[in-house]
Amino acid sequence: MSRQVVVGKEVFSLSHLKVFRREEIEKFMGDVAGELTLLSENTVVVFSPIRLEVTFCGEKHVLSPGLTHVRGTQLEMAGGAYLPAFLDEEYLEYLLFDLPRELDKKRVPIVVEDSHKRFTRWVHEGLMYSYDILSRIAKVYRVPIIVYGDRETENMWSFVKTFACEKIEGRGKCFVDGKPCGEGDATSY
Model confidence over 8-20: pLDDT tens digits?
888 899 999 999 9
The tally of domains found in the chain comes to 2
pLDDT at 186: 47
Q: Does the residue 187 lie in any domain? A: no
The Cα 14–Cα 3 span in angstroms is 6
Residue pLDDT, tens place only, 59-98: 999 999 999 999 999 998 877 899 999 999 999 999 999 9
* Owning domain of residue 12: 4-42
Q: Are 75 and 96 in contact (CB under 8 A)?
A: no
- Domain assignment present for 188: no
Q: For residue 15, give every residue at least 6 positions away whose Cβ sits within 8 Å of its Cβ, in sequence order, or none.
A: 1, 45, 47, 100, 103, 104, 140, 141
- 21 plus 73 within the same structural domain: no
Q: How far apart are CA 158 and CA 146, in angstroms?
A: 13
